[in-house]
């Protein structure tokens, strides 16, 4: 042992030189977790879990990860993904009550089902192949049928309507995909502490899936290391947004329900994840204007913030931040453990009402028309009450306008006629040039690719409502292309309405390095909202027809060939004729019968087996005949004898 | 392969939970469930592709049956079926000759050592009428002309929660504890036609070993208790050589309305414990020493530097 140590000392000196050289690539990976709780005006509670994992760029080709999930870094390396977002959602984000203007709803209000978009770093000709392979790899990783996005009929290549400006961007959506435990489990397995420790241990599956809205999202972006082929830095952001309704015992509907972490999730936080750099719980309250004073330094003032006439928090926050009308309480859960679990609770004492800020225009989409031949799609944009108070109104040529981008994908069986596009502003039809500033149309090809429409509208600020309608014809699918439940209908994926002149951000004046959640809120993000998914009933064939066709064809064939064979081969009345001839043989005479029979035998050689030589035949018959006569005579005599006996 | 999403269905009163009993004691849809094929992907084509291994290149490994000639495979199918067929998604059928063909291909490609097929449908025994490959064991819940029935209705959830055959199979396994060495024979004999309301028929003509000697853990996974030992190679010091030690497996949960579940247990027979010899002791010490270093990268760099140094010296000497 000692000799071994002695021999290693000079080599250790050498090692120190190497350490100095290799020091540059030894930046550490970082992981941080956060939970944001926010009571919503319609008696519900929003819980937003945020996990961020950063892998620094490295100079070496292969690298070790100790916090960052290897599956993701392999995905990025293999498919040369520059940016990607995958979300699984069930439920509809209620923009009226839950808000549409804050960064949380802009980033987390996602369309129903699976939505995937990715930007690649490969030559233009290989983007589609990379997309196809990426969808397969993701379907294996997340136990979902994302591989259905591989066919060119289900994805599109948006240009400017989506918000990301790139020609190597592909976007696809599956509205009918179910989301369940089997999707959450692999998503949680990407975290260093899985779902065993820290904030992710709160995720009780029945509680999460009981919510009104749940959306798990994975967003990754690469930070270029500057050199070709070397490991680039990756930032992986995983968020889970759940809207829950706490159970209340109080009968009055004016009061907001009181809740705590254990009543929402059935569990408490027992310690943070040891691998996390920061682990915090935030509570955000909106509409807190007025009675709070600016001065939070004094103890009494600070105490009044979290225990006052309106509400009570069960734990003391570590810090309190304020931004215009929202109040943020920060709790550090490093100190919690098994013996003192962290169970934050909020008790309302007085009824309070507030409203969340909404996007300038609220978008809904619906179908018009009836029948299985044609119809129309309409998007309605209605002004919300917060329209006047919003920043970011653009003034051009003395007029104030709101810019709205609309991005839609139409599957190929919804054959849209782009020339029937009509725009109505305040129920008056406008010619396109007045309102439509930019339009990009990619028409669909039957069974090959889907159609895409991107529009930029410039509406006056005082607009009350705007409507866009477009007509379409319904296409026919081949019988193999129908899903098993074809009579339910087919989905048109959600349209995306974004407002490029408005940016949502929440700035709490906090140092950025501490909290990734707050720094992500601080970045200016595009205000966007997704519309509903439309269900289009298409004509379905009679699926039992192949069976019917086979049955009727076989019946016809059977009848045809059967009757043909009967006509050709069967002799009807052959039996009767034979018997008649037999009977006739007795009355007419032996010789005539014999001659008839021999004639028949000679005429048709395939007669029943007694085809001996005519002479033998005749002798045989004659002896048989004589025997029969004798038998009958004997029977008659016996009958006579016995009958006279009585 | 689950064709319908039962657990997170909008009509399920208990979201993310699937029970096999009215008392709601056991949630089968636990935290570790992974479903590889679901929804519209559950088709006869995909099923046969999984069995025979003929996938497109892009299909990821988790969606493939990665078995070799030493594997034991459990194939469990349930749903609606009839004389020589099984229904898929109410739109397609899997026929008995297709299944037999796929199994024959699997045997030719040496994709399994032993295969157990368990079918719980009406007239289930007809589904494996056409099998001819050796090494296959099959059991069905009913004979031709018989129906298979559900066990009981859960009025809370609104559907029947489990079929009779599956219920009695689960009841058999729940009676065992981890160290029981129950054999397949005892499992097959535990089915009572009066309770099942059908005859559970099994076919052993293609399966060579005697059923009484085959433990159920050959096909059904079990949760092994892991015992922490301080030093390596000292565990289980008095076991004989023909005792098979399985590595830890996930619990093979049979939940109702499954179309298919596979458990792939490699039958690697581990060696017995290593004797304490100086070579292994040295390796253990070296291993412990290496673990003390926090930065494995630097040790590797160090090793390379040493090699370069030695090469330089030797080349200068020559």
Interface test with A, best of B297, B309, B312 (most A CBs within 10 A): B297
Cα A329 to Cα A321: distance, rounded to the nearest angstrom: 6
> What's A258's DSSP letter?
P
Selecting among B80, B97, B152, B287, the annotated active-site residue is B80
> If you average pLDDT over every residue of chain B, what do you get?
82
B298/chain A closest Cα distance in angstroms? 7
B92/chain A closest Cα distance in angstroms? 9
pLDDT for position A552: 96
| DSSP assignment string, A564-584 | HHHHHH--TTHHHHHHHHHHH
Between A345-349, B134-138, B250-254, the lowest mean confidence (pLDDT) is in B250-254
Bridge-partner residues for B199, per DSSP? none
Tell me the mean pLDDT in the region A110-128.
94
Establish if B14 touches chain A: CB-CB under 8 angstroms.
yes
pLDDT at B181 over 80: yes
Cβ separation of A14 and B90 shorter than 8 Å?
no
- Among A170, A192, A212, CA closest to A86: A170
Bridge-partner residues for A240, per DSSP? A49, A216
Tell me the mean pLDDT in the region A455-471.
92
Q: How far is CA A80 from CA A236, B138, B278, in A?
A: 15, 47, 49
pLDDT at A609 over 60: no
This model of the complex carries an ipTM of 0.79
A141/chain B closest Cα distance in angstroms? 8
Cβ separation of A180 and B59 shorter than 8 Å?
no
pTM for this prediction: 0.79
pLDDT for position A513: 53
Tell me the mean pLDDT in the region A494-499.
94
Specify the higher pLDDT residue, B291 or B168. Answer: B168
Tell me the mean pLDDT in the region A476-487.
90
Q: Report percent pLDDT > 70 for chain A.
A: 85
Cα nearest neighbour of B41 on chain A: A145
Establish if B278 touches chain A: CB-CB under 8 angstroms.
no
> What's A282's DSSP letter?
E
pLDDT at B246 over 50: no
Q: Report percent pLDDT > 70 for chain B.
A: 84
Going B245 to B251 to B253 to B258, the CA torsion angle's sign is negative
The count of C-alpha atoms lying within 13 angstroms of the C-alpha of A137, restricted to the half-sphere facing its C-beta, is: 17
Specify the higher pLDDT residue, A331 or A13. Answer: A331
Cβ separation of B38 and A145 shorter than 8 Å?
yes
Q: Report percent pLDDT > 90 for chain A.
A: 50
- Among A5, A6, A52, CA closest to A30: A52
Cβ separation of B33 and A483 shorter than 8 Å?
no
Select from B30, B60, B298 the Cβ nearest to the Cβ of A15: B298
Establish if B38 touches chain A: CB-CB under 8 angstroms.
yes
Residues from chain B that touch A180, judged by Cβ atoms under 8 A, are 5, 7-8, 16, 29
Cβ separation of A136 and B59 shorter than 8 Å?
yes
Cβ separation of A18 and B305 shorter than 8 Å?
yes
Burial class (CB in 10 A: 0-12, 13-18, 19+), B213: exposed
β-strands B92-95, B85-88: how paired?
A: antiparallel
pLDDT for position B114: 93
Cβ separation of B34 and A150 shorter than 8 Å?
no
pLDDT at A116 over 80: yes
B80 is an active site residue: yes
Interface test with B, best of A178, A179, A242 (most B CBs within 10 A): A178
Cβ-based interface (< 8 Å): residues of A facing B: 11-12, 14-15, 17-19, 22, 26, 64, 90, 132-133, 136-137, 139-141, 143-145, 147-148, 150, 176-182, 185-186, 195, 205-206, 208-210, 483-484, 543
Q: How far is CA A434 from CA A424, A437, A449, B83, in A?
A: 11, 8, 31, 68
In tens, the pLDDT along A85-112 reads: 999 999 999 999 998 888 899 999 999 9
Other CB atoms within a 10 A radius of the CB of residue B153 amount to 12
Cβ separation of B40 and A483 shorter than 8 Å?
yes
Angle between helices B296-317 and A2-21 (to 10 degrees): 100
Other CB atoms within a 10 A radius of the CB of residue A156 amount to 28
In tens, the pLDDT along B203-245 reads: 999 999 999 999 898 888 765 567 777 777 655 554 433 333 3
Task: Kindly report the backbone phi and psi dihedral angles of residue A306, in degrees, each rounded to the nearest multiple of 5, phi listed first.
Answer: -110, 0
Between A161-165, A349-353, B73-77, B98-102, the lowest mean confidence (pLDDT) is in A161-165
**For the CA atoms of chain B, what is the radius of gyration?**
25
Cβ separation of B8 and A185 shorter than 8 Å?
no
> What's B183's DSSP letter?
B
B111/chain A closest Cα distance in angstroms? 21
In tens, the pLDDT along A181-222 reads: 999 999 999 999 988 888 999 999 999 999 999 999 999 999
pLDDT band at B47 (very low <50, low <70, confident <90, very high): very high
Cβ separation of A140 and B16 shorter than 8 Å?
no
pLDDT for position A608: 44
pLDDT for position A607: 44
The answer for B 137-176 residues in CB contact with A (under 8 A) is none
pLDDT for position A508: 76
Cβ separation of B34 and A137 shorter than 8 Å?
no
| Residue whose pair of structure tokens reads 């120190």 in the numeric block | A16
Cα nearest neighbour of B308 on chain A: A14
> What's A232's DSSP letter?
P
**Coil, helix or strand at residue A539:** coil
Cα nearest neighbour of A63 on chain B: B297
Tell me the mean pLDDT in the region B126-150.
93
Q: Are A81 and A220 in contact (CB under 8 A)?
A: yes
Contacts of B317 by beta carbon, 8 Å cutoff, 6+ apart: none
Establish if B41 touches chain A: CB-CB under 8 angstroms.
yes
Residues from chain A that touch B297, judged by Cβ atoms under 8 A, are 22, 26, 64
Cβ separation of A180 and B62 shorter than 8 Å?
no
- Among A235, A238, A189, CA closest to A215: A238
pLDDT at A439 over 50: yes
Cα A524 to Cα A502: distance, rounded to the nearest angstrom: 9
Contacts of A231 by beta carbon, 8 Å cutoff, 6+ apart: A57, A58, A59, A60, A61, A63, A73, A77, A225
Select from A19, A133, A140 the Cβ nearest to the Cβ of B61: A140
pLDDT at A264 over 70: yes
pLDDT for position A335: 79
Residues from chain B that touch A61, judged by Cβ atoms under 8 A, are none
């Amino acid at each position: 042992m000692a000799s071994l140590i002695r021999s290693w000392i000079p080599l250790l000196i050498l090692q120190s030189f190497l350490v100095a050289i290799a020091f540059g690539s030894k930046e550490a990976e970082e992981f941080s977790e956060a939970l944001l709780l926010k009571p919503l005006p319609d008696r519900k509670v929003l819980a937003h879990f945020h996990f961020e994992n950063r892998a620094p760029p490295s100079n070496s080709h292969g690298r070790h990860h100790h916090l960052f999930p290897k599956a993701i870094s392999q995905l990025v390396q293999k498919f040369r993904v520059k940016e990607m977002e995958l979300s699984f959602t069930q439920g509809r984000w209620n923009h009226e009550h839950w808000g549409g203007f804050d960064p949380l709803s802009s980033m987390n209000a996602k369309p129903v089902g699976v939505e995937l978009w990715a930007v690649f770093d490969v030559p233009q000709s290989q983007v589609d192949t990379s997309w196809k392979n990426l969808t397969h790899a993701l379907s294996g990783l997340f136990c979902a049928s994302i591989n259905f996005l591989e066919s060119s009929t289900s994805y599109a290549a948006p240009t400017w309507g989506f918000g990301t400006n790139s020609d190597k961007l592909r976007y696809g959506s599956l509205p009918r995909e179910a989301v369940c435990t089997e999707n959450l489990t692999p998503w949680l397995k990407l975290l260093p502490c899985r779902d065993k420790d820290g904030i992710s241990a709160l995720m009780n599956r029945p509680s999460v899936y009981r919510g009104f809205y749940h959306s798990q999202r994975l967003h990754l972006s690469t930070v270029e290391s500057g050199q070709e082929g070397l490991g680039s830095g990756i930032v992986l952001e995983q968020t889970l947004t759940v809207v829950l309704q706490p159970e209340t015992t109080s009968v009055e509907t004016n009061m907001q329900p009181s809740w705590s972490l254990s009543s929402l999730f059935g569990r408490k936080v027992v310690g943070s994840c040891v691998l996390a750099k920061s682990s915090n719980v935030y509570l955000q309250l909106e509409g807190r204007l007025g009675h709070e004073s600016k001065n939070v330094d004094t103890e009494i003032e600070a105490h009044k913030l979290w225990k006052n006439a309106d509400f009570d928090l069960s734990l003391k926050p570590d810090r309190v931040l304020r931004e215009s009308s929202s109040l943020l309480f920060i709790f550090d859960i490093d100190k919690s453990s098994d013996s003192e679990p962290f169970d934050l609770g909020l008790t309302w004492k007085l009824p309070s009402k507030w409203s969340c800020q909404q996007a300038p225009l609220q978008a809904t989409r619906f179908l018009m028309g009836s029948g299985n031949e044609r119809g129309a799609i309409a998007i309605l944009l209605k002004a919300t009450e917060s329209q006047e108070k919003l920043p970011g109104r653009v003034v051009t040529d003395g007029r104030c306008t709101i810019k709205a981008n609309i991005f839609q994908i139409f599957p190929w069986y919804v054959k849209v006629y782009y020339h029937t596009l009509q725009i109505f502003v305040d129920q008056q039809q406008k010619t396109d040039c007045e309102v439509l500033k930019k339009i990009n149309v990619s028409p669909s090809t039957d069974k090959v690719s889907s159609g895409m429409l991107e529009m930029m509208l410039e509406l006056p600020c005082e607009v009350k409502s705007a409507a866009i309608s477009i007509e379409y014809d319904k296409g026919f699918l081949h019988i193999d292309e129908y899903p098993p439940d074809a009579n339910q209908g087919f989905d048109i994926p959600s349209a995306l309405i974004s407002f490029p002149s408005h940016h949502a951000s929440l700035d709490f004046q906090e140092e950025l390095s501490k909290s990734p959640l707050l720094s992500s809120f601080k970045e200016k993000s595009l205000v966007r909202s997704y519309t509903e998914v439309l269900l289009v009933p298409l004509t379905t064939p009679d699926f039992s027809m192949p069976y019917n066709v086979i049955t009727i064809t076989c019946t016809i064939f059977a009848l045809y060939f059967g009757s043909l064979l009967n006509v050709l081969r069967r002799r009807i009345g052959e039996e009767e004729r034979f018997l008649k001839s037999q009977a006739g043989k007795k009355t007419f005479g032996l010789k005539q019968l014999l001659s008839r029979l021999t004639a028949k035998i000679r005429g048709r050689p395939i007669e029943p087996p007694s085809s001996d030589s005519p002479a033998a035949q005749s002798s045989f018959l004659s002896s048989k005949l004589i025997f029969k006569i004798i038998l009958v005579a004997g029977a008659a005599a016996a009958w006579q004898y016995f009958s006279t006996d009585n | 392969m689950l064709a319908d999403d039962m657990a997170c269905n909008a009509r399920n009163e208990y979201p993310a939970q699937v029970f096999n009993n009215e008392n709601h004691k056991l949630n089968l849809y636990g935290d570790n469930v992974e479903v590889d094929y679901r929804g519209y992907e559950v088709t006869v084509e995909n099923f046969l592709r999984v069995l025979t291994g003929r996938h497109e290149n892009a299909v990821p490994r988790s969606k493939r049956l990665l078995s070799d000639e030493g594997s034991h495979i459990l194939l469990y199918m349930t749903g609606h079926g009839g004389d020589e067929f099984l229904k898929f998604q109410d739109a397609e059928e899997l026929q008995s000759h297709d299944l037999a063909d796929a199994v024959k291909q699997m045997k030719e490609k040496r994709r399994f050592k032993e295969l157990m097929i368990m079918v719980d449908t009406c007239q289930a025994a007809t589904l494996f009428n056409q099998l001819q490959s050796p090494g296959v064991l099959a059991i069905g819940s009913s004979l031709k002309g018989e129906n298979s029935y559900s066990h009981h209705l859960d009025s809370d959830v609104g559907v029947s929660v489990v079929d009779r055959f599956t219920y009695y199979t689960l009841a058999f396994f729940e009676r065992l504890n981890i160290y029981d060495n129950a054999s397949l024979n005892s499992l097959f004999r535990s089915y009572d036609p009066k309770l099942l309301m059908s005859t559970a028929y099994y076919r052993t003509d293609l399966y060579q070993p005697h059923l009484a000697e085959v433990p159920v853990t050959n096909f059904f996974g079990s949760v092994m208790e892991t015992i922490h030992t301080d030093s390596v190679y000292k565990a289980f010091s008095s076991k004989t050589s023909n005792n098979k030690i399985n590595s830890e497996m996930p619990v093979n949960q049979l939940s109702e309305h499954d179309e298919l579940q596979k458990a792939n247990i490699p039958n690697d027979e581990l060696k017995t414990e290593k004797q304490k010899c100086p070579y292994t002791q040295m390796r253990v010490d070296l291993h412990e020493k290496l673990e003390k270093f926090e930065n494995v990268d630097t040790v590797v760099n160090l090793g390379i530097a040493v090699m370069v140094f030695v090469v330089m010296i030797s080349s200068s000497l020559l």
